Amino acid sequence: MDNMMITLPLLILFLPLVSFIILIFFGKRLPRQGDWVAVGSIVTTLLFALYLFIQMILKSDQGGYTGTNAINASFSWIDLDAFKVDLGILVDNITIIMLLIVTLVSSCTHIFSLKYMEGDIRYSRYYAYLGLFTFSMNGIVLADNLISMYMSWELVGVSSYLLIGHWFEKDSATDAGKKAFLTNRVGDIGFFIGIMLLYTAVGSFAFDPIFDSIAGGDTITGLTLTLAGLGIFMGAVGKSSQFPLHIWLPDAMEGPTPVSALMHAATMVAAGVYMSVRLFPIFTPDALLVIAYTGGITAILAALIAITQNDIKKVLAYSTVSQLGYMILAVGTGVYTAAFFHLLTHAMFKANLFYCSGSVIHSMHHALHKVHDEKTDPQDMRNMGGFKEKMPVTYWSMLISTLAIAGVPLFSGFLSKDAILAGTLAFAQHHPEHFLLPLFGFGAAAITAFYMFRLIFMTFHGKPNMKDIFKDIHESPKEMTGPIVLLGTLSFFIFYTLPYFNPISDHGWFTDLVVPQTSAVPGSMTANEIAEHAHHAHYLAMGLSIAVATIGILLAFLMYVKNVISPKKLSDRFGFLYDWSLNKFYFDENYNRFLYQPFLKLSETVSWLDWDFYDKYFINGFGRITNLLSKLSGKFDYDGIDQGLVDGLGRISGVAGENLRKIQTGRLQNYLLYVVAGILVIIIIQAF
Amino acid sequence: MHSLDSYLFISSMLFCLGVFGVMTRRNAIAVLMGVELILNAANINFVAFSKFNGMNLDGHIFGLFVIVLAAAEAAVALAIIINIYNNLNSINVDDAAELRQ
Amino acid sequence: MAELVFWFVAAITIISAGFVVLNNQLIYSAVALLFTLFGVAGIYVFLWADFIAGIQILVYVGGILVLVIFGIMLTNKIKSVRISHKSMQQGVGGAVALWLFIFLSIALSKAPWAVSEAIEPSGTVREIGILLLTDYLLPFEIISLLLLGALIGAAVLSRGDA
């Protein structure tokens, strides 16, 4: 049985990779461009993940696969004396739930794309990249050590880049892809520094040795540990689009909507949260504080931006950022299992919201195309209105998911949000100076309810804003509505409280199986303490969250349905606030002005140094000097040596020869003289 | 009467003068005269040694032969010279160099 | 007294020899040669070689010198020049000859000749005659052959193309 528990996760991991390889090389030649390869592989992984999930449920009386029951298989990758790295997989409850999330949403995306991306110019490549993404996401989920997590982390970034820029004919898409990747990289620098800090102190990359070493309290402590934790958290800031690196996620909406659903709602952005959940034991209280504030600020900031956005996908994007902020906030305040719970519910309803919006956009596209209108933005909510009767399935599913995200009881979001808010309240109760955190939390909840319902009202209620195309709006094909229905259903509370039926309970299979560990940092509150405190604050939080949600929905209702309060008048009245919100608080502009431009200037200066100064003077100078030297040398060689020595030798020989020739006079008496002289010389030599 | 050395001294002088004559003179007959000097010098040597070796008359005999040979040689040489003169109209030794070509 | 005469004779010989080789006029050289030969004969006398001295005068002076003078006379009629030819390479030749002389002198004076005393003979003619026909018979005969050859040769040579 255990063997299956290792083989199946490995299959889940590698099947999408196989699909990727096949589709990249042969995709175009396969019938239907090979989408059945992708869909087949992903559905298979879904079935495997379901199997694992069931296994876990069956073992739930033993606590499932936690602690000592967790499956850990590794192999030695690098084995040098000074450096050892083992790679492997870790399969425990969290892993199994996460695998299920990833494979489920990925399958929905694959099926949804069958119709949404029909006729796309790079159909097979799209599916190939989806496979690559699924592979890398599973890699993060299954990692049991920081190195393979980091490798998969980067791969996920690459897949994101490739998929965001899928329609790379559009400059905005390629820019968005680059922005996403580079912003991620900034976060990853911190991640890597954090990994290295941990490794140099602990000597291993794997989780359990690190936890044990930290708990031992002597290898890495204090400021170093905080810094390591913050470094690793930086990776989450980048990947999960937290403030201040949240700028890439809204731009990433340039990618196809199913991709947005998969990556930028359910899975990739959740990777940061997942990683924080996994590595919760290494965060010191100081690090956790930073994490909490980051999450809180992100939550409220993104919510404030979302209320004025007109593009349906942008609203959802900021909503995602805000919800991710919630999750990070939960990690920071200690209730990290609540964060994971919210990750699960959020994956379901946010992916659904994206699919529904995709369905709406798809419909708008077709309608606009029919009247040859290329200029109108099919994603702008101001062009929509009254789609309720035309797209009933989409409407009802979206409504359910919106109720979930708003935190209305009887829906999944209520349970998870409630848990988070209870955690923040509890934290503030024990640290009253951090009152801002629950304030951010509840405030964001109210605003979330508001803008999500604004979206619903603007899109589906009221009168249609573009009457000429309204008649062509129709429901989407069943490949698209299928996932919508499925995920909509999963937005109900019941699936998360099984085997209990209490809609406001904080017990269920999830809470039974996903049990928080105590932090490894010596001196932290134990998990039990945290849970206790949260439990005490539970009912207060519940009441408050219902209240704020009601306020938000009511306000949206009044403004967009009953038109009692006019949005226009409000926006004029609070002019500059509206501007700020609409323009995303000018983050991109300011980053550009204070970060990018100065850096570009610096690059230009350095480039000038290199090109115009160094190249011109030194390199060319060298060239000229060499030229001159070679001329001199040539002159020396030709005139000096050739003329002087070589010719000179010749001349000397000639002269010598001519002169020596004169000895041979032909006269006898000269020779006689030579003979006598020679005899003399010989005699002299002999004598001496 | 006198030591051997003086006779040898005289004969060497004569010899050197004869060599000088042969080396320097252009006229063939002058060269011949130089040769005669040389021969005479050698002759003096012979005879001197003959006297100073207990009157061993071998030296005399030799001297005699030398004289005879000198005579024969002079005769032949002069015949050649006259022949050359008849052909070349000059008895300059330099001029008789046609064979060299 | 004899000493003086000896050196006088020697001086005549050598000076005449010098004259022979240095003079540009051929006839003068010939005459100087005459004196030289006479001088040499005198030296022979001092060396108790009476027969050789006689033969010297007879053959050398009477025969060879006469031949030389005949030669001079016969080869006289050249273009325009008098019978004077300048010498050549006198400088170097003189130096070499001088050097040769110096060397010879040094060598001769340093050499340990094996000298033995002799008594003056009454005359050498008799002994020479005996030697010629006993010990030196072969050279004697060969010399006569040689003389014959020279004779014929000279005769042939001087005949020309007649």
Maximum Cα–Cα distance across chain A = 148
Q: Which residue of C has its CA nearest to B40?
A: C40
pLDDT band at A64 (very low <50, low <70, confident <90, very high): low
Q: Each residue of A176-190: pLDDT tens digit?
A: 898 889 899 999 999
ipTM: 0.87
Q: Residue B101: its pLDDT value, please?
A: 46
The yes-or-no verdict on residue A1 having pLDDT over 60 is no
Look at residues B37, B39, B41, B10 and name the one whose alpha carbon lies nearest to residue C11. B10
Distance CA A127, CA A484 (A): 20
The yes-or-no verdict on residue A478 having pLDDT over 70 is yes
Q: Each residue of A9-38: pLDDT tens digit?
A: 888 889 999 999 988 888 778 777 777 888
**A515 or B86, which is more confident:** B86
Sign of the dihedral through C-alpha C116, C120, C121, C127: positive
Q: With contact defined as beta carbons under 8 Å apart, do A542 and A504 qualify? A: yes
Distance CA A558, CA A556 (A): 5
| Mean pLDDT score, C37-55 | 92
| Mean pLDDT score, A539-547 | 82
Mean pLDDT rounded to a whole number for chain C = 86
Classify residue A584 by its DSSP letter. G
Sign of the dihedral through C-alpha A312, A315, A317, A319: negative
Distance CA A438, CA A404 (A): 20
| Lowest-pLDDT choice from A130-144, C34-48, C57-71, C73-87 | C73-87
| Chain position carrying tokens 């039990």 | A528
Q: Each residue of A393-415: pLDDT tens digit?
A: 888 888 999 998 888 888 888 88
The yes-or-no verdict on residue A250 having pLDDT over 60 is yes
The yes-or-no verdict on residue C18 having pLDDT over 80 is yes
Mutation target among A673, A675, A682 for the C interface, most CBs of C within 10 A: A673
Task: Determine if the pTM surpasses 0.90.
Answer: no
Tokens of B100: 């060299």
Tokens of A23: 């589709």
How much of chain A exceeds pLDDT 90, in percent? 8
> Would an 8 Å CB–CB cutoff place B53 in contact with chain C?
yes
Nearest 5°: the CA angle A571, A573, A575 is 60
Subunit contact B54:C51, Cβ cutoff 8 A: no
The yes-or-no verdict on residue A388 having pLDDT over 90 is no
Which of A29-43, B49-63, B80-94 holds the top average pLDDT?
A: B49-63
Q: Residue A66: its pLDDT value, please?
A: 67
Mean pLDDT rounded to a whole number for chain A = 83
Look at residues B11, B4, B3 and name the one whose alpha carbon lies nearest to residue B63. B11
| SS3 at position A204 | coil
Residues across chain C? 162
Nearest 5°: the CA angle A210, A215, A217 is 105
Q: Residue A495: its pLDDT value, please?
A: 75
The yes-or-no verdict on residue A505 having pLDDT over 70 is no
Tokens of A537: 């604050």
Subunit contact A683:C89, Cβ cutoff 8 A: no
Q: Which residue type does A404 have?
A: A
Q: Each residue of A226-242: pLDDT tens digit?
A: 888 899 999 989 888 88
> Would an 8 Å CB–CB cutoff place B26 in contact with chain C?
yes
Nearest 5°: the CA angle A688, B6, B9 is 50
Burial A515-530 (b: 16+ CB within 10 A, else e): bbeebbbeebbebeeb
The yes-or-no verdict on residue A500 having pLDDT over 70 is no
Subunit contact B93:A668, Cβ cutoff 8 A: yes
User: C89 phi and psi, to 5 degrees?
Assistant: 40, 45
Q: Each residue of A351-385: pLDDT tens digit?
A: 889 988 888 888 888 888 877 777 777 787 777 87
Closest CB from B24, B31, B97 relative to A666:
B97
Q: Each residue of A257-290: pLDDT tens digit?
A: 888 888 877 777 788 899 988 888 888 888 888 8
| Chain position carrying tokens 């932290």 | A524
Distance CA A2, CA B15 (A): 132
> Would an 8 Å CB–CB cutoff place C91 in contact with chain B?
no
Look at residues A40, A100, A51, A91 and name the one whose alpha carbon lies nearest to residue A490. A100
Q: Each residue of A604-663: pLDDT tens digit?
A: 888 888 877 777 777 788 888 889 999 988 888 887 777 777 788 888 888 899 888 887
Tokens of A332: 């920071």
Q: Residue A47: its pLDDT value, please?
A: 92
Burial A408-431 (b: 16+ CB within 10 A, else e): bbebbbbbbbbbbbbbbbbbbeee
Q: Residue A113: its pLDDT value, please?
A: 87
User: Please, which residues have CB within 8 angstroms of residue A176's CB and are 6 or more apart in sequence?
Assistant: A164, A165, A248, A251, A252, A253, A254, A255
Q: Each residue of C125-155: pLDDT tens digit?
A: 888 899 889 989 999 999 999 999 998 888 8
